[in-house]
Amino acid sequence: MPKILTPTDILCSEFLKTASQITKSVEPIKVLRARAYQIRDSNVLIRASLLGKNNRYFFGLNYIHVEEMANLENPFVAFICGSVENSVIFPAKVLFNYLPSISHDRNGEYKISFDKDLNLVLSGRNNRVNCEDLINKWDSITTPTTISSSKNTAEESLHNVLQGRLLEIGNIRGFQTFCPNKSKTFNGQPLGNIATLKECPPLQFSEHDVLRQIDVLWFRERGSKFIPECGFEVELSTGTWSGVGRLATLIDYANTRLFIVSDDTKKYQQVLNAFSDFKPRYNHVQTNLVSDLYSAELGLRDLRVKIGI
């Protein structure tokens, strides 16, 4: 039975059709679960809404999705307000900075709305952002940009995001954290600045040259020593063998938990079947669960600060 398209589904399809008429380079971003597309050199998250009873266009948008988009190259969020002709094409990094002024629930779902004149509505009476220059700004997403040799793919950017989220979770929980990719960024900050340790501490029963290449490490301090709590390898497009191999340097630490973060369960099972003796030591975590945990940890941290407990 064919899927019944909602009015917002139809609006999104019309938006993509219009984009395809301007540039033939329109592809879904497969590593993201949100409705996002690479349109020429831009990465675009698409949202659609009809005019509500309060003369506003309402869009529910999760913090996790905005954060992921803001960490991509040349990112935008397209808000289709009733028709494709009323599309507000918002730079995602700018929208990310406005989020603190927009109400949200405990799950990080932001209540983004535009008034009938397509102004972004912020918290506070008559607090608006004039979006006139962003309405139908198709050239911002379809005009070729100057491509630098260091441009990240969507997979590389998401890899950095997941590393950043794992570092932040470890920091919130009070661990000492380490990441080898110090110059890669997450929310505008180098990962080396988010990690609490600038150098990976040597361990008695681990090969240090391999240990310091693991994507994210959490340590507990015990006196002058560091005890490895968790090791994480993020595997999006490089395969699982290398990550399993690097984590194996921590096998002799019986209480250290080892995690492969990926969405390819079949590949994970194939690799671990070849390491049957060590298979119980490894854990497989889907990328969206890391994101859900990160969102929950941020919410809990903010709630603790709010109530002082």
Instruction: Give tens-digit pLDDT for 139-169.
Output: 999 988 765 556 789 999 999 999 999 999 9
Task: Decide if pLDDT at 280 tops 80.
Answer: yes
pLDDT of residue 285: 97
Q: Is the pLDDT of residue 261 over 90?
A: yes
CATH class of this structure's domain 7-142: alpha beta
Residue 149: predicted pLDDT: 55
Q: What is the pLDDT of residue 238?
A: 66
pLDDT score of 179: 97
pTM, entire model: 0.93
Dihedral class, residue 40 (left if φ above 0, else alpha if ψ from -120 to 50, else beta):
left
**What's the chain's average pLDDT?**
93
Give CA–CA dist 116/136, Å, rounded. Answer: 15
- Report the Cα 20 to chain-centroid distance in Å: 26
Of 17, 41, 39, 12, nearest to 28 by C-alpha is 39
Tell me the domain boundaries of the chain: 7-142, 154-307
What is the structure's pLDDT at 258? Answer: 97
Burial label, 53 (beta-carbon count in 10 A; 0-12, 13-18, 19+): exposed
Question: pLDDT for 204-246, tens place per residue?
Answer: 999 999 999 999 999 999 988 999 999 999 998 767 888 999 9
Average pLDDT over every residue of 256-270: 94
- The residue-averaged pLDDT of 84-93 equals 97
Model confidence at 44, pLDDT cuts 50, 70, 90, reads: very high
2, pLDDT greater than 90: no
| % of the chain exceeding 70 in pLDDT | 97
- Interval 247-273 mean pLDDT: 94
